[in-house]
């Protein structure tokens, strides 16, 4: 019969449990939750599958809306952002999945809609080798995004996503694309939590307002005989509907809306002349031509 040997005077040291590590994919989902994201629109594919695998454990915190095409995902995210006031989030795979987002990115850029797109990418070691479904999504999307960035290491995920959300929703809102290689999604690392970003040294979301220009504008308005106001989506994006209405009522100046700014003022307001443009109302088009001072608020002359 075998007996157990005893070591006199020695107590075995307790084994220390290894600190739990997180994958890059888990860090991505934790970042989204920390940013208040509850809904994601997307279509899975090989290069972004690790995120979808991790998503299974976050079903109680993140709702995923499965679309049938990546373009549908980004347009749905745009609509979500515009109606909720929150950042729309999109998942797409590499190659054709990423390129299918371009039209939606351009639309979000033009319409100032805050969207963050997270695309999968081939392993970092395969970048530049014409690997399967590898496309240079960063250079492709540079003209149609406020900012884009490629993540190749999981340690970069938290800081990059924090910057992405900050840029997407501040200043003039717009789309941001973050391309994350598959190795970064799978990589295990010591995730130290997520810290939202509220300042980036090289990023200036708010323009400098020069007091003398405001005074000059006020003088022009006060001296005008037939002033007219054109207002657009900028009034809504700046959450300035109340101040805008007070300005109109105090000055008594009539106004017309662009199609994107229609809801910034009640359409039955006596100073609301309707919509400007070839598809708009007759009166505001005539008034725009005949005014002596045209005041543009929250709109572009496009």
So what's the pLDDT on residue 3?
47
pLDDT in tens, 132-191: 999 999 999 999 999 999 999 999 999 999 999 999 999 999 999 999 999 999 999 999
So what's the pLDDT on residue 7?
45
CATH class for the region spanning 211-297: alpha beta
Options 3.40.1380.10, 3.40.50.720, 3.50.50.60, 3.40.50.970; which CATH number does 22-189 get? 3.40.50.970
Distance from C-alpha of 89 to C-alpha of 80, rounded to nearest angstrom: 9
So what's the pLDDT on residue 2?
46
Which parts of 57-210 fold into alpha helices (H)? Answer: 70-84, 96-99, 102-111, 137-141, 157-169, 182-186
Domains 22-189 and 211-297 share a fold: yes
Residue ranges of the chain with pLDDT lower than 50?
1-8, 11, 14-17
So what's the pLDDT on residue 5?
47
H helix and E strand count, the chain: 12, 12
Domain spans of the chain? 22-189, 211-297
pLDDT in tens, 9-35: 554 554 444 557 999 999 999 999 999
Look at the alpha carbons of 258, 261, 263, 269 in this order and tell me if their dihedral is positive or negative. negative
Distance from C-alpha of 153 to C-alpha of 120, rounded to nearest angstrom: 13
So what's the pLDDT on residue 76?
98
């Amino acid at each position: 019969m075998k007996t157990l040997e005893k070591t006199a005077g020695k107590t075995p040291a307790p084994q220390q449990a290894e600190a739990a590590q997180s994958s890059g994919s888990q860090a991505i989902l934790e970042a989204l939750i920390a940013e208040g994201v509850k809904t994601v629109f997307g279509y899975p594919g090989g290069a972004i599958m690790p995120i979808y695998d991790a998503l299974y454990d976050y079903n109680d915190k993140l709702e995923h809306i499965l679309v049938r095409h990546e373009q549908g995902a980004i347009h749905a995210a745009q609509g979500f952002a515009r109606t909720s006031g929150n950042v729309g989030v999109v998942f797409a795979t590499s190659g054709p999945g990423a390129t299918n987002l371009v039209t939606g990115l351009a639309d979000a850029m033009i319409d100032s809609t805050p969207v963050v797109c997270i695309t999968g990418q081939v392993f970092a070691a395969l970048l530049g080798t014409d690997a399967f479904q590898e496309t240079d999504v960063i250079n492709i999307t540079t003209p149609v995004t406020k900012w884009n960035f490629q993540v190749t290491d999981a340690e970069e995920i938290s800081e990059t996503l924090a910057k992405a959300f900050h840029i997407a929703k501040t200043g003039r809102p717009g789309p941001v694309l973050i391309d994350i290689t598959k190795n970064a999604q799978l990589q295990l690392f010591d995730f130290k939590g997520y810290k939202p970003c509220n300042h980036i040294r090289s990023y200036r979301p708010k323009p400098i307002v020069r007091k003398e220009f405001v005074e000059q504008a006020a003088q022009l308005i006060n001296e005008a005989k037939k002033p007219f106001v054109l207002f657009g989506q900028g009034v809504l994006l700046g959450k300035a509907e109340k101040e805008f209405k007070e300005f109109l009522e105090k000055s008594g100046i009539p106004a017309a809306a662009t199609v994107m700014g229609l809801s910034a003022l009640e359409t039955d307001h006596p100073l609301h002349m309707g919509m400007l443009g070839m598809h708009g109302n007759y009166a505001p088009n005539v008034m725009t031509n005949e005014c002596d001072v045209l005041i543009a608020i929250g709109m572009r002359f496009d």
